[in-house]
Chains A and B, each alone.
Chain A
Amino acid sequence: GAVVSQHPSRVICKSGTSVKIECRSLDFQATTMFWYRQFPKKSLMLMATSNEGSKATYEQGVEKDKFLINHASLTLSTLTVTSAHPEDSSFYICSARARGETQYFGPGTRLLVL
């Protein structure tokens, strides 16, 4: 199956700093990439959808200035959490989809903001 990687797998940062998470589709070109957030023992919450070369579409309640998404190429999308606060601590998961239906998920990035 298709492989999606994320980097870093975990990150600890100080409050007020920014953190960038990378999502890569390793063996296919992803026309669309998605960013999800997951709280402990909870389901995945879609944050935004991004298509290569265009602006991301954010879900209601997700601050686009706080969660900056860049989909620079068909294999790379980045999520930058700006001015991070403790409440931003969470498990962030990206997924990628080619022209078909199947959505492949990355392994996730655990963010802890102190």
Chain B
Amino acid sequence: GENVEQHPSTLSVQEGDSAVIKCTYSDSASNYFPWYKQELGKGPQLIIDIRSNVGEKKDQRIAVTLNKTAKHFSLHITETQPEDSAVYFCAARIRGGADGLTFGKGTHLIIQP
């Protein structure tokens, strides 16, 4: 089955700086890669996703890049703000498949004021 590795487990950045979280996946058949943000005591919220027919997608301060050859994808948050502090999870699945998402272990992002 699919295996998703996520790094780092904890990331502390100064407010206003950029944050980058990286994930790798094992199954070359995976072609859908969402990123979720989870605040304490709440369910995960989808923040951005990318499909394997594109290499990059951007939504305001958030961007995701995908390298299919290397089987890795990254989340980039620019101009970080205190409200960006949360746990971020990457995930992967095979489009059209019946399976649920396979999640990375999460990154605790801390924005230092």
Chain A residues within 8 Å of B, Cβ to Cβ: 1, 4, 6, 32, 34, 36, 42-44, 46, 49, 51, 57, 93, 95, 101-108, 110
Chain B residues within 8 Å of A, Cβ to Cβ: 32, 34, 36, 41-46, 49, 51, 89, 93, 95, 98-106
Of all chain A residues, which has the CB nearest B106? A43
Contact A102 B41 (CB under 8 A): no
Contact B99 A49 (CB under 8 A): yes
Q: A43-B89, A44-B44, A93-B44 are in contact. Are A101 and B51 (CB under 8 A)?
A: yes
- Residue of A46, A103, A104, A107 with most partner-chain B CB within 10 A: A103
Contact B43 A107 (CB under 8 A): yes
CB distance from A7 to the nearest CB of B (A): 13
The list of the 3 closest CB pairs from A to B, nearest first, reads A105-B43, A34-B100, A46-B100
Q: A43-B89, A44-B89 are in contact. Are A103 and B43 (CB under 8 A)?
A: no
What residues of chain B lie closer than 8 Å to A105, measured between beta carbons?
36, 43-46
Contact B44 A101 (CB under 8 A): no
A32–B98 alpha-carbon span in the complex (Å): 8
A14–B86 alpha-carbon span in the complex (Å): 32
A85–B52 alpha-carbon span in the complex (Å): 42
CB distance from B54 to the nearest CB of A (A): 13
Name the contact of A108 in the complex, choosing from B34, B42, B100, B103 (C-beta under 8 A). Answer: B42
Can you report 26 A-B residue pairs in the complex whose CB atoms are below 8 A from each other?
Answer: A4-B43, A6-B43, A34-B101, A42-B105, A42-B106, A43-B89, A43-B105, A43-B106, A44-B44, A46-B101, A49-B98, A49-B100, A51-B98, A57-B98, A93-B43, A95-B100, A101-B32, A101-B49, A101-B95, A102-B34, A102-B46, A103-B34, A103-B46, A104-B46, A105-B46, A108-B42
What residues of chain A lie closer than 8 Å to B89, measured between beta carbons?
43-44
A47–B46 alpha-carbon span in the complex (Å): 20
A1–B43 alpha-carbon span in the complex (Å): 14
CB distance from A60 to the nearest CB of B (A): 9
What residues of chain A lie closer than 8 Å to B101, measured between beta carbons?
34, 44, 46, 103
What residues of chain B lie closer than 8 Å to A43, measured between beta carbons?
89, 103-106
A7–B5 alpha-carbon span in the complex (Å): 32
